[in-house]
Structure 1
Amino acid sequence: MTYPKKIDMHAHHFPLLSKEEGAALDRDNGLWLRVDAGGDTGQIMTGEKPFRPVYKVLWDAHARLAEMDEQGVDIQISCATPIMFRYSDAARAAADWAERMNDHALQFASANPARLKVLAQVPLQDLDLACAEASRAKAKGHVGVQIGNHLGNLDMDSAHLVDFLTHCANDGIPVLVHPWDMMGGPNRMKKWMLPWLVAMPAETQLSILSLILSGAFERIPKSLKLCFAHGGGAFAFLLGRVDNAWKHRDIVRQDCPNPPSSYVDRFSVDSAVFDPDSLNLLTKIMGTDHVMLGSDYPFPLGEPRIGSLIAGADFLSSQDKARMLAGNAADFFGL
């Protein structure tokens, strides 16, 4: 099989929502996009409060395609900016919102459906509605779903989320897990983007370990295609600590029948780790067949030159680079 040369499987979008459309769900905290004069930059807004400065590739598919050409990206898989999840809203309202946002995403991708692919969002707070929207979105053309790594106090090992993952496995829907609503709060992480630098990697590691140590992977079909963003957070670096704890403490292994390191073939991660030594460790832990190019484009914490970390890695063979730059994602998402 011939693959594209570069598939970026972790990028984000935000639709060109008016203030009125955002307020239809939540008058005070409705999400909308305020575009600056000139149309090239803007702000994601929550009600009257600026949330994040952005630029036009976040909502303008033709501008994105031009940047993909400049970066040599053949296909990009885009998903909602996590603030769009709306997991704390009433379930029916969140389901209506998810359907609208997923239709917006398909409209974005319609600029070039062969090169722009999208993941759906779901009303995760209601299992039946979430499963229904995931399957509806798949039928409409989404190549998978993106979910947050927890639902309030429910981590990935909860029966609720395990049942959703099982539905996705049974319906052939790939899942990207993205950290959000980070632990710690503003009192301990006031400055320097510490929630993104400390709590976000910890959230992802917590998600993976909750599935492993709880025994949830024993209950989820092995057919599930599951990927964790940002290189799996702190997971690879701390896996030795976890294996050591499993060997020496029965409280760690009481629900986990096998060493934690034996489960690395049950999920994939993206390559957004930004450092050659980190990527080297990640591929040694996960194997090159479970790492996919992901840039976190177009946000400032993403990879500025998409794919350059993998392409410049002297410890990877040309075959490994080809798989990580495109082949793994093509197989994972069925492209």
Structure 2
Amino acid sequence: MIIDVHGHIISAEAAERAPMPRSLVDVEGMIEAKAAAGIELTIVGSPSGARTMAPADRFAGYRQPFGYQQPFDQLRALHDWLGETVQTWWRNLRAYVYCDVFGDERSVAAAAETLREPGFVGLIANFSADAEYLDSPRADDFFAMAEEAGVPILLHAGPMPASCRDIANYGLLEIFGRPCDATLGLAALVLSGRLERHPSLNFISANSGGAFSLFADRIDWAVRPRHWDDRTTQNRGEDDAAGAPVPELHRTASSLRPSELAGRLYVDTTFDHPSLHEANLRLLGARHIVFGTDAPPIPVKFEDKIQAVRDLPIGEAEAEDILAGNALRLFDLTDFLEARASAEERRVPAGG
């Protein structure tokens, strides 16, 4: 069994309204291609709600505001379509509810209501918007709602990450800017104190966490920066450190070490570089990595993606955890297992 926790689809109506890759509307084609490789279930959602991921002014004749607020009826229509599509493809699909992290009370309440509908098993939200990350107080309502809902949250870059507003080249933004947004977004989340205040929440990072795991040995510096110690000895102990006063800008809302909190995060397998996966293994362990392809819209050779997991320096049981076990544990997929077992029974003759 293989479960893909990171896929995207969109209705034909939404695709006509905004510039989007056409692969997003081919739901049946996606299911067939994945099934041929052994991927039985995909959890799908939109990281931009009913809007396109393309920034406001990158397509002639199309405009959308920088702010993440969007027409309420369009978002409701998207979730209605997602729910209906999951019901049609119950053996193959589950869905995320999109929620604007910095949205008003009405939008957060609407996301909570949609989560109670059949087929929705998690939230999809953005690392940042405009000039704000997840440490912003404006995200308080989102975190309270997510904790009450008790579902996993896929964190995904949005159309205009906070760190990318001045990037003019869309290829640079799309291919490099969004993974950088994941790196900064996870760091902001860890340093915000939210993981300590909401210990039951499970966050899955798209883009394999960006470069976050590569910075893991430095994240505690954000609280106690070594370069502000002006003593010359290189062998001092941490408790013996003394030097210039640490600027007030170096602060965290958590009483725990950021490096301790970082180990609670989850990442997907979007990226293909084995060195990044191995860095994630060292930081998080195999039980905190979930199989995700970002397909569609990303064109993927699914067999190669699966083999890349099996080629990691881990045992077979750990590989199976990444491919399916961790997702089964994180998401409430009892109904999927029941449907799968029922289908197996219909395929096996009585007494066979």
TM-score class, shorter: 0.7 to 0.9
Change in CA separation of 1:286 and 1:167 when aligned onto 2, cut-off 3 Å: same
Conservation of the 8 A alpha-carbon contact between 2:163 and 2:181:
no
Question: In 1, distance between residues paired with 2:102 and 2:255?
Answer: 30
**Counterpart selection for 2:272 from 262, 267, 274:** 274
Establish whether residue 169 from structure 1 lines up as the match of residue 147 from structure 2. yes
Conservation of the 8 A alpha-carbon contact between 1:7 and 1:74:
yes
| Aligned partner of residue 154 in structure 2, secondary structure | strand
**Counterpart selection for 1:319 from 303, 317, 341:** 317
| Aligned partner of residue 84 in structure 1, secondary structure | coil
**Counterpart selection for 1:32 from 15, 32, 39:** 15
Establish whether residue 224 from structure 1 lines up as the match of residue 201 from structure 2. yes
Q: 2:32 — aligned with what?
A: 66
Q: How many equivalent residue pairs?
A: 297
Gaps of 5+ in 2: 52-63, 229-245, 334-352
| Aligned partner of residue 327 in structure 2, secondary structure | helix
Rg larger for: 2
Establish whether residue 240 from structure 1 lines up as the match of residue 217 from structure 2. yes
Q: 1:80 — aligned with what?
A: 46
Quick one: which amino acid aligns to residue 182 of structure 1?
P
TM-score (norm 1): 0.80
**CA shift digits 1:76-96 (9 cap, x unpaired):** 1011153735885695x6332
Question: In 2, distance between residues paired with 1:269 and 1:94?
Answer: 31
Q: 1:28 — aligned with what?
A: none
| Aligned partner of residue 80 in structure 1, secondary structure | coil
Q: 1:310 — aligned with what?
A: 309
| Aligned partner of residue 297 in structure 1, secondary structure | coil
Q: 2:117 — aligned with what?
A: 140
Establish whether residue 330 from structure 1 lines up as the match of residue 328 from structure 2. yes
Question: In 1, distance between residues paired with 2:25 and 2:80?
Answer: 14
Q: 1:42 — aligned with what?
A: none
| Identity level (%) | 21
More strand by share: 1
**Counterpart selection for 2:284 from 255, 272, 286:** 286
**Counterpart selection for 2:22 from 28, 42, 54:** 54
TM-score (norm 2): 0.76
Deviation at 1:243, TM superposition (A): 2.7
Q: 2:75 — aligned with what?
A: 98
Conservation of the 8 A alpha-carbon contact between 1:127 and 1:164:
no
Change in CA separation of 1:320 and 1:99 when aligned onto 2, cut-off 3 Å: same
Residue range with higher mean Cα deviation, 142-151 or 286-295 = 142-151
Question: In 2, distance between residues paired with 1:178 and 1:87?
Answer: 19
**CA shift digits 1:57-105 (9 cap, x unpaired):** x2233222211211210111011153735885695x6332221111111
The 5-angstrom pairing of residues 154-233 of structure 1 reads: 154-180=132-158, 181-183=160-162, 185=164, 188-190=167-169, 193-219=171-197, 221-233=198-210
Gaps of 5+ in 1: 18-30, 34-44
Deviation at 1:303, TM superposition (A): 6.0
Q: 2:258 — aligned with what?
A: 260
Question: In 1, distance between residues paired with 2:109 and 2:66?
Answer: 19
| Aligned partner of residue 166 in structure 1, secondary structure | helix
Establish whether residue 7 from structure 1 lines up as the match of residue 3 from structure 2. yes
Conservation of the 8 A alpha-carbon contact between 2:86 and 2:93:
yes
Quick one: which amino acid aligns to residue 50 of structure 2?
M
Conservation of the 8 A alpha-carbon contact between 2:130 and 2:162:
no
| Aligned partner of residue 95 in structure 2, secondary structure | strand
**CA shift digits 1:112-136 (9 cap, x unpaired):** 2132111111354433223322222
Quick one: which amino acid aligns to residue 289 of structure 2?
V
**CA shift digits 1:288-333 (9 cap, x unpaired):** 11110010002236565442321222x0111110111001111111
Conservation of the 8 A alpha-carbon contact between 1:95 and 1:123:
no
Residue range with higher mean Cα deviation, 151-160 or 297-306 = 297-306
The 5-angstrom pairing of residues 98-137 of structure 1 reads: 98-137=75-114
| Aligned partner of residue 223 in structure 1, secondary structure | coil
Conservation of the 8 A alpha-carbon contact between 2:130 and 2:161:
no
Quick one: which amino acid aligns to residue 38 of structure 2?
G
Quick one: which amino acid aligns to residue 210 of structure 1?
A
Quick one: which amino acid aligns to residue 147 of structure 1?
A
Change in CA separation of 1:70 and 1:213 when aligned onto 2, cut-off 3 Å: same
**CA shift digits 1:246-289 (9 cap, x unpaired):** 34254434534332211123321111120122111111111111
